[in-house]
């Protein structure tokens, strides 16, 4: 295991290390400066602007920016919804799939537009190629670009003084797609392919295994899809079993590569924010807070998984360690670190069935998601959420030291503080509210196959996961039912847009303010003290609202398990 620990630390270190120059590159891209890819992509970018009639030098006001973003997302959702409803009559439907049920189609439309990629369906059995291309793939690349555009806008707003405009949504969006996602995916697919991740357009191969019968071995562009799913944090896997499939993780090293990829772009965003705001301290602060919280997420899952299950021990399993539902090609250590690494940025890639990990692991995952997934987090929204926490922490720290709060050279007022609060309290609101509805209505209860604390955990999990646009869920709850298709829509919308719109509103109000000089008395945002304070604020203000469900779910389950009680 020592070797695995070293490899893990090395890969994560490399992923985070490479994020430093890449963050610089991203800052150049979004700052409109000359960069490595300018000679190749700039002509394409110009051409896109020309075709779409976009004037890249005209900036939008806050109101226009928000309206453009919302209308764009609305149209995107309508398109996905229409394609799914009409897929029966649209071309590219060799399997003659019928149209989706309306509740399913609506759920999928919202899910893809909000970057949740909550997938209570089996893609290949229900979606036509047309739906997959127009519905899934298009939004797959758009939704992280929208997230990126908003964090870029916020950083830009902090860097400016007294500006009535905040940037151009189209430019931010198109640059993200052209300079970031396409080249990055194309580049980073090679290390995966070198490990044997398949990348082909072959027909499925029929194998005749020894025990008889037939086995269908799929082909497809798994490399590209996997690379993109990891980098853009959408968790939309090529295979239904995600990273557990040998074509996605053919070797041990490829598994570690996955983890490095997952943290790469969110970490690079923290560096980009520093360059864009010309403030290195904010990067140090964002990055170290995230890394510290990330490290703090490790002990509980390790305790849970390696502690094992006394009930299994009674049945003769060595150490009571549960490998049920886990990919046995990988060690328990690898399972634990993969779970924490993939769930911290709300990526949602899985190596094991979520319903097969120990309660303590689920406890940590629910906590990390519940606080809004600010630990590296989704593209854009992770750093946004963390900045929202910074704003509220600065306000409280300012009170405690008798000063007006300030962040990155801007004064924080009533407006920013209140907005930041709404953003991160929103996920508690929708997650708890809809869980309560599900647990007190027959339709919600009908989908549950587990009882007791486990059943509660599963319901709460799905609503927390959708509230912060993670999109994973635990088996045991039949989420294909209309109730869950409809009930998860509001959490997905609320989680996504409360973060994005609040981010823009804060940005707009910050941009209008003048820059203030950093004085000797400005609270150093990168100091260990402030970082500890931010973590204190996250736990007390946001984490504590999940204390009851965590107690009644995973904690109760763990305690009962240790006492040998089943339910």
Partner 1 sequence: MPGKITNVWQPSLIKQAVRDAFLKLNPFVQRRNLVMFLVELTALVVTIIAINDLFNSGNFKLDVQISLWLWLTVLFSNFSEALAEGRGRAQAESLRQARKDAMANKLEPDGKIEQISATRLRKGDLVIVKEGEIIPSDGDIIEGIGLVDESAVTGESAPVVREPGGSICGVTGGTRLISGQVKVRITVNPGQTFLDQMITMVESAKRQKTPNERALELLLIGLTVIFIVVVVTLVPFAHYLNVSIPAAVLIALLVCLVPTTISGLLPAIGIAGMERMLKSNVVALSGRGVEASGNVDLVLMDKTGTITLGNRMATEFIPTEGVTKEDLAEAAMLSSLADDTPEGRSILDLCKRTLGIRGRDIRAPEGSTFIPFSATDRMSGIDIGGREIRKGAGDSIEEYVNMKGGRFSEGTHAAVESISREGGTPLVVAEGSRVLGAIRLKDIVKPDIKERLNSMRKLGIRFVMITGDNPVTAEAIAAEAGIDDFIARASPGAKLEAIRKYQKDGHMVAMIGDGTNDAPALAQADLAVAMNAGTQAAREAANMVDLDSNPAKLLDIVEIGKQLLMTRGALTTFSIANDVAKYFTIFPALFVAQYPVLNVLNVMHLATPTSAILAAIIFNALIIPACIPLAIRGVSYKPATTEALLRQNLLIYGIGGLIAPFIGIKIIDILVIMLNLA
536 near partner 1, rule: CB under 8 A = yes
Among 79, 182, 439, 526, binds partner 1 (CB under 8 A): 439
CB of 417 to partner 1, least distance (A): 5
Q: Does 288 bind partner 1 (CB under 8 A)?
A: no
Stretch that binds partner 1, among 28-36, 104-112, 382-390, 553-561 (CB under 8 A): 553-561
Measured CA to CA in angstroms, residue 183 lies from 103, 105, 201, 257, 352 at distances of 36, 31, 21, 18, 30
Find the binding residues for partner 1 in span 508-527 (CB under 8 A).
514-517, 519-524, 527
User: What part of residues 164-203 is at the interface with partner 1 (CB under 8 A)?
Assistant: none
Rounded Cα gap, residues 563 and 169, in angstroms: 56
**Does 89 interact with partner 1 (rule: CB under 8 A)?**
no
Least distance to partner 1, CB of residue 402, Å: 3
Find the binder of partner 1 among 119, 159, 168, 435 (CB under 8 A). Answer: 435
8 A C-beta contact, residue 379 and residue 566? no
Shortest CA distance to 166 belongs to which of 151, 154, 177, 175? 154
Q: Of 512, 558, 12, nearest to 262 (Cα)?
A: 12
Triad 20, 249, 367: Cα angle to 5°: 60
User: Residue 207 belongs to what H/E stretch?
Assistant: strand 205-207
**Tokens 């670009």 label which residue?**
145
Smallest separation (angstroms) from partner 1 to the CB of 81: 30
Task: Decide if residue 57 touches partner 1 (CB under 8 A).
Answer: no
- Told to check if 566 binds partner 1 by CB under 8 A, we report no
User: CB-wise, 435 or 488, nearer to partner 1?
Assistant: 435
Show the DSSP H helices in 87-137 as ranges: 102-113, 123-126, 129-130
CB of 416 to partner 1, least distance (A): 9
- 446 near partner 1, judged by CB under 8 A: no
Rule CB under 8 A: is residue 442 a binding residue for partner 1? no
Q: By the 8 A CB rule, do 212 and 218 touch? A: no
Query: 84 vs 459, which CB is nearer to partner 1?
Result: 459
Q: Does 101 bind partner 1 (CB under 8 A)?
A: no
> 288-293 — which CB contacts under 8 Å span 24+ positions?
288/526, 288/531, 289/386, 289/531, 289/534, 289/535, 290/266, 290/374, 290/375, 290/376, 290/377, 290/382, 290/386, 291/16, 292/531, 292/535, 293/344, 293/368, 293/374, 293/375, 293/535, 293/538
User: Interface residues for partner 1 in 411-430 (CB under 8 A)?
Assistant: 411, 413-414, 417-418, 421-422, 425, 428-429
Closer to partner 1 by CB, 253 or 311: give it. 311
Q: What residue ranges bind partner 1 (CB under 8 A)?
A: 392, 395-404, 411, 413-414, 417-418, 421-422, 425, 428-429, 432-433, 435-437, 439-440, 445, 452-453, 455-456, 514-517, 519-524, 527, 529-530, 533, 536, 540-541, 544-545, 547-549, 551-552, 555-556, 559-560, 562-563, 565
């Amino acid at each position: 295991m020592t070797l695995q620990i070293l490899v893990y630390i090395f890969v994560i270190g490399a992923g985070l290390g490479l994020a430093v120059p890449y963050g610089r590159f991203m800052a150049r891209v979004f700052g409109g400066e000359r960069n490595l890819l300018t000679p190749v992509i700039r002509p394409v970018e110009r051409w896109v602007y020309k075709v779409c009639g976009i004037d890249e030098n005209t900036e939008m006001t806050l109101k226009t920016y928000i309206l453009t973003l919302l209308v764009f997302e609305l149209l995107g959702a309508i398109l996905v919804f229409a394609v799914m409803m009409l897929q029966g009559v649209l071309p590219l439907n060799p399997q003659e799939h019928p149209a989706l049920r309306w509740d399913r189609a609506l759920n999928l439309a919202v899910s893809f537009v909000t970057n949740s990629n909550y997938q209570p369906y089996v893609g290949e059995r229900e979606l036509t190629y047309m739906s997959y291309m127009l519905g899934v793939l298009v939004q797959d690349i758009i939704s992280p670009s929208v997230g990126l555009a908003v964090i870029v806008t916020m950083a830009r707003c902090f860097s400016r003084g007294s500006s009535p405009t905040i940037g151009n949504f189209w430019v931010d969006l198109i640059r993200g797609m052209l300079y970031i996602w396409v080249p990055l995916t194309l580049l980073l697919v090679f290390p995966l392919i070198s490990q044997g991740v398949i990348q082909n357009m072959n027909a499925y191969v029929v194998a005749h295994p020894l025990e008889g019968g037939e086995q269908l071995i799929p082909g497809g562009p798994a490399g590209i899809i996997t690379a993109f799913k990891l980098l853009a944090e959408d968790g939309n896997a090529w295979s239904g079993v995600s990273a557990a499939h040998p074509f996605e993780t053919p070797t041990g090293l490829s598994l570690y590569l996955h983890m490095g990829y997952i943290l790469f772009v969110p970490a690079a965003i923290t560096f980009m924010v520093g360059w864009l705001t010309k403030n290195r301290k904010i990067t140090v602060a964002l990055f170290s807070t995230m890394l510290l919280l990330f490290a703090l997420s490790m002990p509980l899952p390790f305790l849970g998984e390696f502690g094992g299950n006394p009930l299994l021990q009674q049945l003769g399993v060595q150490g009571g360690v549960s490998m049920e539902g886990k990919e046995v090609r990988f060690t328990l250590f690898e399972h634990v670190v993969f779970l924490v690494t993939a769930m911290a940025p709300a990526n949602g890639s899985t190596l094991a069935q979520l319903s097969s990990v120990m309660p303590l692991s689920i406890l940590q995952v629910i906590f990390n998601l519940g606080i809004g997934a600010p630990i590296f987090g989704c593209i854009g929204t992770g750093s946004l959420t963390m900045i929202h926490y910074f704003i509220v922490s600065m306000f409280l720290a300012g009170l405690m030291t008798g000063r007006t709060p300030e962040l990155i050279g801007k004064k924080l007022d009533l407006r920013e503080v209140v907005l930041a609060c709404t953003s991160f309290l929103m996920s508690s609101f929708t997650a708890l509210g809809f869980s309560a509805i599900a647990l007190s209505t027959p339709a919600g209860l009908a989908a549950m196959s587990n009882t007791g604390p486990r059943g509660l955990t599963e319901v709460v999990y799905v609503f927390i996961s959708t509230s912060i646009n993670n999109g994973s869920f635990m088996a045991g709850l039949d989420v294909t039912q209309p109730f869950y298709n409809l009930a998860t829509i509001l959490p997905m919308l609320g989680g996504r847009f409360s973060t994005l719109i609040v981010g823009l509103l804060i940005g707009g109000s910050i941009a209008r303010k003048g820059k203030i000089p950093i004085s000797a008395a400005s609270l150093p945002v990168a100091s260990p003290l402030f970082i500890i304070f931010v973590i204190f604020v996250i736990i007390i203000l946001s984490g504590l609202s999940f204390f009851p469900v965590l107690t009644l779910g995973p904690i109760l389950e763990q305690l009962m398990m240790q006492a040998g009680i089943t339910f």
